[in-house]
Amino acid sequence: MVDQPILWLSGGMLAMLGLIALHIPIGVAMAIVGFAGTSLIIGTGPALSVLAVEPVTALSSLDLATIPLFLLMGGFAAASGISSDLFNIAARFIGHRRGGLAMATVMGSAGFGAICGSSVATTASMAKIALPEMQARGYGTSISVGAIAGGGGLAILIPPSIIMVIYAVLTEQFVLDLFVAGIVPGIIAVSLYTVAIMIYARMYPETSPTGERATLAQRFRSILAAWRAMTTILVVTVGIYAGVVTVIEAASLGAFMTFLFWLGSKNASWRGLFEIARDTLAVTGMILMMVIGAHVLSYFVTLTDAPNVIVDQVSNSGLPPMGIILLLMAMYIVLGAIFDSVAAMVLTLPFVFPLVMNLGYDPIWWGIINVMIIEIAAVTPPIGINVFVMHAAAPHIALKTIFRGIVPFLMADFVRLAILLAFPVVVTFLPALVR
């Protein structure tokens, strides 16, 4: 412990922001500040020990080992056309309704999220599949791109979720509890997005035309055609929740199955395999570096005793617990407009998590709330990573049009947040049953 812990913390955060401004990767910046701060407080020798131990700890984590496996699963699934199979099912069943293709996009995104776990990959995949379909049938540009960018964010809430794995590792929670806790909020999210589309379609019917009703035979064929997606989802999710396989075993099975599906598809090639492996390695490396940096920084932050000081000050501020939670949520949305949303969570957990626990909230509940805020930040200007992915897939559509399109979905997100804040049991009852 040191004198003036808040001053130490502030100095460290300013130094880290300076390094990030110099375009040093966030994970590396956190590690540098954590190492330098630890060296100043307890000496260079112990700081070097921390720097040596933390990478080994991260690389030996079974939970973190699921990340490249889920990324591989999503990469092979996208390349083999599984995402289009899921979209086609929803389109056959509800595509004839007003706004039905936008609803199908949301449902297809949720289904692909159960395989992929990445909002960026889901948004990119659905942009290639759903946007041409909606444009060909006369849908408005705003509702089309809004459904894709908003629906893509569901991937980090629908288990299995890479963000949930990172949260579980950094807060020492059981990742399966988070996966189970995300089921009901995920269902609520899809339902509220569907309602938002229905309201928008009623207000602006010219943007959401009706289509031809699919025959029973066409619907049945779409289900049969999606056997790869159905099989993967059943094996991964049922295997995990039934206790037949562990999370890492399920991830391995899912990656192997989607690899076989990709191998049997017309898209299989050495170049495609190289691109999937390259993308998986790049994202995994970035995530691992952020986790290692967060652990090193967390050690420095703990030495300063700043988390305890912050907890005491906030607890004595007179604000009600829910008022503090609302302030934290606002902070994350602002940070999400500056940093990558995952980085914002990793940066702040060392002092936010102790504060939330001191207020008496359930760590699993806060994990789901945290993931939902990240989901909102993914479509919030000026960063809004999903919006930029959508723009990259359709560069002819202006960014302001995409941001305008996500407004109905943002409103649905805030309604969902309000439900989970008012009724935490919506999140916590399933994990309690499984334990």
Q: Is-contact 251 73, C-beta < 8 A?
A: yes
Query: In sequence order, what DSSP letters do the residues of 391-413 get, joined into one string?
Result: HHH-TTS-HHHHHHHTHHHHHHH
Same domain, 253 and 219: yes
Same domain, 52 and 73: no
Give the pLDDT score at 424. Answer: 93
Residue 22 belongs to a domain: yes
Same domain, 49 and 74: no
In total, how many domains does the chain have? 2
Cβ-count burial of 305 within 10 angstroms (0-12 exposed, 13-18 middle, 19+ buried)?
Answer: middle
Q: Count CB atoms within 10 A of the CB of residue 313.
A: 11
Nearest residue to 107 via CA among 123, 124, 89, 125:
89
Q: Which residues contact 395 (CB under 8 A, 6 or more apart)?
A: none
The length of the chain, given as a count of residues: 435
Assess whether pLDDT exceeds 60 at residue 234.
yes
Q: Is-contact 33 295, C-beta < 8 A?
A: no
Give the pLDDT score at 383. Answer: 67
Same domain, 70 and 210: yes
Residue 358 belongs to a domain: no
Please identify, among 249, 280, 304, the residue that sits at the C-terminal boundary of a domain: 304
Q: Count CB atoms within 10 A of the CB of residue 187.
A: 12
Same domain, 215 and 89: yes
pLDDT tens figures, 216-230: 899 999 989 889 988
**Domain range for residue 140?**
64-268+390-434
More confident call, 243 vs 42: 42
Nearest residue to 106 via CA among 143, 157, 142, 150:
150
Which range in 6-15, 155-164, 260-269, 296-305 is most confidently predicted, on average pLDDT?
260-269
Cis-peptide, bond into residue 350, ω within 30° of zero: no
- Please give the model's pTM, rounded to 2 decimal places: 0.83
Residue 325 belongs to a domain: no
Give the pLDDT score at 413. Answer: 92
Q: Is-contact 160 66, C-beta < 8 A?
A: yes
Same domain, 32 and 123: no
Q: Is-contact 117 156, C-beta < 8 A?
A: yes
